[in-house]
Chains A and B, each alone.
Chain A
């Protein structure tokens, strides 16, 4: 065996041995622990993920179970965090969600015309944002035992803003305008569809009938 090949194989063996001693990790960087969001609106929060460890990791970002019960989640994407990514070069990850309507509204016509008085106390939901390493590193088989998973978290309090407003009739006005416009168009089409001579004849006929009625009186 050539010397170069022996050196190459030795190098490979050493690298494999070293690789078995190291593993990837997960890191989270955050600069906000609470968010004021409006009900019914989509909100995105930005976190950063990093991995100062010598092996790359796939991570996902998601809320803890306490927040999952209230948030309507958008897509959860997994992201590759390369090995040796320090906190100074952390990778931004957006975390988007929507808060459903949670405050009481007084509505008419199947929820079309509503007012909101915001007399309830502000609702605050406490939980965490989790960065999880995926997929779970190992599935135990054979003699049995416990697979292990790893995550890090940042606290997050979501304060839901209630937007008080009077009953909003805009939709009703829009509907009225549409209906009025349709009826106006129908009437104008009916009016101008016939030739002028026919329209004049009809008018003449009606006038004659009117004269006849009035002369009888």
Chain B
């Protein structure tokens, strides 16, 4: 090995040592110690909801034979002696009142041909009790594809009843139309 090779060896040796030194410098850390005592608090919130069995089974409008149909009732709207069997319940094992948020994923759609019944034609009304007149059809609200409040400030242990309605225009093609309605329980005054 000549002088040049020895020189190269020395240079790379120095470079290697320099690199290792620089890597070790980046790892230097320090710790300071102080005397402390711990104080903490944990605030827990909890809520639980369930749907009535009829609502779990889905909102069915049956077969409509005469068009146009206006405010056509879902099959469970008056099923229990004129009362609605569609309800959302807040468990008594909750520690916060609940707002119910509702949305439709899409308009009612016939999957075989993609015909739709406009989103604004499916509506709902809600109330904290149910009777022949309550929830009131005149207070119906439209479904949208974003969640909106449809039952506010429901206390633990309480129930919100729903009625669902469908308008079908005279020119609506026959078919079987489906979509999905989502119900979400959120802490009261939290946005949907």
Contacts and interface: CB of A to CB of B under 8 A. Distances in A.
B190 to A, nearest CB: 5
Interface stretch (A72-80, A110-118, A147-155): A147-155
A86 B9 contact: no
A86 B50 CA distance: 14
Interface string B28-47: 00000000000000111111
Interface residues of B, number: 62
B125 interface: no
Contact of B49 (A136, A138, A152, A174): A152
A191 B48 contact: no
Contact of A31 (B13, B20, B43, B63): B43
A195 to B, nearest CB: 14
Interface residues of A, number: 59
Interface stretch (A3-11, A34-42, A94-102, A179-187): A179-187
Nearest to B89: A25
Interface SS of chain B: mixed
Interface SS of chain A: mixed
Given A148-B55, A168-B26, A180-B15, A153 B50 contact: no
B53 interface: yes
B178 interface: yes
Given A152-B184, A177-B20, A184 B47 contact: no
Contact of B184 (A51, A138, A151, A173): A151
B104 interface: yes
Nearest to B27: A170
6 contacts: A27-B47, A30-B45, A30-B46, A87-B95, A149-B181, A151-B183
Given A146-B181, A184-B9, A187-B8, 17 more contacts: A25-B50, A25-B89, A26-B50, A27-B91, A28-B47, A31-B44, A50-B48, A53-B91, A140-B178, A147-B179, A148-B51, A148-B55, A148-B180, A148-B181, A149-B183, A177-B19, A206-B2
Interface of B: 1-2, 5, 8-9, 12-13, 15-16, 18-20, 22-23, 26, 42-53, 55-63, 74, 89, 91-95, 104, 108, 110, 122, 164, 175-187, 190
